[in-house]
Amino acid sequence: MLREGQATAIHRADYVAPAYWIDTVDLSFDLDPAKTRVLNKMTLRRNTDVPAQPLKLDGEELNLARVLVNGQGTSFKMDGEKLVLENLPLGPEPFELEIFTTCAPAKNTKLMGLYVSNDSFFTQCEAEGFRRITYFLDRPDVMASYTVTLRADKARYPVLLSNGNLVEQGELEGGRHFAKWVDPHKKPAYLFALVAGQLVALEQRITSRAGKEHLLQVYVRPGDMDKTEHAMNSLMASVVWDEARFGLPLDLERFMIVATSDFNMGAMENKGLNIFPTKYVLANQATATDADYSNIESVVGHEYFHNWTGNRVTCRDWFQLSLKEG
C-alpha cells in the first residue's frame, strides 16, 4: 500500500510505446502572471502498433476550460490529474485536438513549468514540467514540431522568446505585442522553452562552413551586459568546434542563451533557447575567478552540444538519461 508522498516504481522493462503520436503542436500564450491563458492545438494519430485505448494526457495544477476534437465538443473525464479522452476517431488518420487551459505562473514556486522570476516569465520542462503548462503526453519519446505565439504587455515584457526561428512579430491593441516562433525540428516536450521579460542581448553574427549566417544572442538583465563577453566567446567556440569536429552545424537561424537568477537546474539545453542560472553566464575580470571562467566555458559548451546530441537525437525514456548527458 502506497502512503501519501511515496512514488510508484517505474521499471525500464515495462516500457510501452505511447498509444498516440502527436505530430504538430500550435501553442498560443496570453501571458499574465496571475492568469496565463494557453490554447493548445495538436494534430494526433493513433499508434497502430499498440492496442486501441483511451488517450491519457498528463496535467498538473491546470484549470481546464475547453476540449474540442476536430472542432467539436467531446466528452472527457479526469483520472487524478490526467485528462482522459475515450471517444476519439478509430482510424489511423490524423485528428485535431484543441485544449484551452489557464495557469498561475506567479504562484508556481516549484520553478517547473511556466513561472515568474523578477517580473519575467521562464520555463523549465525537464523532466516533467510541460504538464504544468498544458495537457500533453509528457514523455521523451513523443516528438512533435512546435509553433508558438506569445502575446503580452509590451512595456512589461518587451522581449518574447521561444524555440526555433522568429517568423513574425508585431503590435496588438491595448499596448500589447506578439511574437511567433516556429521550431522546424521535432522535439519532446521537455525541450520546450519560453522567456518573456525586460532583457537585453549581446549579439554576434557568425557564418557556418556552408556559408549560412546565424545570429547568436546572450540575454541578461539590463546592467549585466558588461559580464556577457566570455559567455558569448564560449558559445562561438562551441558552435565552431561542433561543426569542425563532427560536421554538425547550427541548424537554426539563431541560438539564444538566457540568464536568470531563479533556476532549479544547472542549465537547460532547450532547443535553440538555453536557460542558465546567472553564475554560468555572468563574468568579468573585476569579480570572476579563473574557476568561474572555466565553469562558464564548460557549461555553455555542454548545453550547446546538446543541440544535436540529446536534442535532435534524444531519449526514448528517462532510463536513457546518461546517453545524452554522458
- Give per-residue pLDDT as tens, 194-209: 999 999 999 999 999 9
- The reported pLDDT for the residue numbered 64 is 98
Class of domain 200-305: alpha beta
- The reported pLDDT for the residue numbered 6 is 73
The CATH 2.60.40.1730 domain(s) of the chain lie at: 20-197
Active-site residue 297, yes or no?
A: no
The CATH 3.30.2010.30 domain(s) of the chain lie at: 200-305
Q: How confident is the model at residue 8 (pLDDT cuts 50, 70, 90)?
A: confident
The Cα 27–Cα 46 span in angstroms is: 21
pLDDT, tens digit, 9 for 90 and up, residues 148-170 = 999 999 999 999 999 999 999 99
Sign of CA dihedral 315, 61, 146, 33: negative
CATH T-level fold of 20-197: Immunoglobulin-like (2.60.40)
**Grid cell 555553455 in the structure block, residue:** 300
Joined together, the cell numbers standing for residue 46 give 493513433
Indicate if the pLDDT at residue 5 is higher than 70. no
Q: Is the pTM of this model over 0.75?
A: yes
Backbone angles phi, psi at 268, to 5 degrees: -135, 130
Pairing of strands 254-260, 213-220: parallel
Query: Under 8 Å CB-to-CB from 230, ≥6 apart: which residues?
Result: 283, 284, 288, 293, 296, 297
**Grid cell 541560438 in the structure block, residue:** 255
Q: Which of 60, 126, 297, 303 is catalytic?
A: 303
